[in-house]
């Protein structure tokens, strides 16, 4: 799999908010600015077949309407796009369209070929387009439910989460995990450098830090942690 970290930052930083592109066709999260970033990086957004949403916060969902409008309205491609996310994701997309004063529910159905898969269990396995996707519930403060995803038992994305059973499962079941490292010290909502150091050592697995606040990025860059990578937006690797 070819993996690109399209965004590695938290919302109030100069970096793009955390999101990841796999094989040009699968996106994990769709924060504000994602469409522009994909175009800047010379990707073809119309190749995206699947969007995995970790939770409903704006820095993970805000660009869904822009991406869909770009594909269906402006370049007029009508392939099916599957959106997987927490229960309520279909309504959330309608709400976002309404907030942006675009199409209503009927128009969305008419114009766009979208299939929604809503998650409501602690763990769900989905086989789609040759991918084995496992959605595992994580713990992101009061934002419930929130999910992390494992793809082909190789790559995990934790989404936003504190250290919890779900995050440990995601790390255990993958070779590389792109993990929420917002903070220097983890709290109720997000993991910190302390948590990812502990996890990288416990499971001896590679962790790529994302959702970084600027202060966290600076501290982590100065450290030399085996198995932990701090990278810039656009960083690519293969697994």
Closest approach of Zn ion to the CB of residue 132, in Å: 25
For every residue of 69-133, which 3-state class applies, written as one string? HHHHHHCCCCCCEEEEEECCHHHHHHHHHHHCCCCCHHHHHHHCCEEEEEECCCEEEEEECCEEE
Closest approach of Zn ion to the CB of residue 57, in Å: 4
Would you count residue 92 as binding Zn ion (CB under 5 A)?
no
Q: Which is nearer to Zn ion, 101 or 188 (CB)?
A: 188
Closest approach of Zn ion to the CB of residue 205, in Å: 22
- Per-residue binding string, Zn ion, 145-174, x by CB under 5 A, is ---------------x--------------
Tally of residues, the chain: 239
Q: What is the DSSP letter of 190?
A: S
Q: Which is nearer to Zn ion, 112 or 192 (CB)?
A: 192
Q: Which residues contact 64 (CB under 8 A, 6 or more apart)?
A: 30, 51, 53, 83, 93, 96
Closest approach of Zn ion to the CB of residue 211, in Å: 6
Would you count residue 180 as binding Zn ion (CB under 5 A)?
no
Distance of CA 185 to the CA centre of its chain: 22
Closest approach of Zn ion to the CB of residue 139, in Å: 11
Q: Which two tokens stand for residue 135?
A: 């959605």
Q: Which is nearer to Zn ion, 21 or 138 (CB)?
A: 138
Torsion of CA 29, 27, 70, 11, to 10 degrees: 30
Q: Please give the Cα distance from 222 to 225 (Å, whole number).
A: 9
Stretches 55-63, 92-100, 168-176, 222-230: which one binds Zn ion (CB under 5 A)? Answer: 55-63
Q: Which is nearer to Zn ion, 188 or 226 (CB)?
A: 188
Q: Is 143 exposed, middle or buried (0-12, 13-18, 19+ CB in 10 A)?
A: middle
Helix (H, G, I), strand (E, B) or coil at 144: strand
Among 43, 57, 169, 213, interactor with Zn ion by CB under 5 A: 57
Closest approach of Zn ion to the CB of residue 103, in Å: 26
Would you count residue 59 as binding Zn ion (CB under 5 A)?
yes
Q: Which residues bind Zn ion (CB under 5 A)?
A: 57, 59, 160
């Amino acid at each position: 799999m070819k993996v690109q970290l399209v965004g590695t930052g938290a919302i109030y930083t100069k970096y793009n908010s955390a999101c990841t592109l796999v094989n040009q066709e699968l996106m994990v999260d769709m924060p504000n600015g994602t469409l522009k970033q994909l175009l800047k990086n010379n990707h073809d957004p119309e190749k995206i077949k699947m969007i995995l949403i970790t939770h409903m916060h704006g820095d993970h969902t805000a660009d869904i309407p822009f991406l869909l409008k770009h594909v269906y309205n402006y370049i007029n491609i009508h392939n099916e796009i599957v959106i997987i996310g927490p229960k309520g994701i279909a309504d959330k997309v309608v709400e976002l369209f309404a907030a942006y004063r675009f199409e209503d529910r009927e128009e969305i159905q008419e114009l766009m070929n979208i299939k929604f898969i809503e998650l409501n269990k602690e763990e769900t396995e989905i086989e789609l387009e040759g991918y084995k996707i496992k959605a595992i519930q994580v713990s992101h403060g009061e934002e419930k439910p929130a999910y992390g995803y494992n793809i082909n038992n190789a790559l995990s994305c934790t989404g936003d989460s504190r250290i919890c059973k779900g995050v440990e499962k995601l790390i255990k079941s993958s070779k590389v995990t792109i993990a929420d490292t917002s903070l220097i010290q983890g709290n109720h909502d997000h993991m910190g450098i302390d948590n990812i150091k502990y996890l990288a050592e416990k499971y001896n697995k590679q962790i790529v830090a994302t959702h970084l606040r600027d202060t966290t990025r600076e501290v982590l860059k100065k450290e030399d942690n085996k198995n932990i990578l701090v990278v810039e937006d656009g960083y690519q690797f293969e697994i």
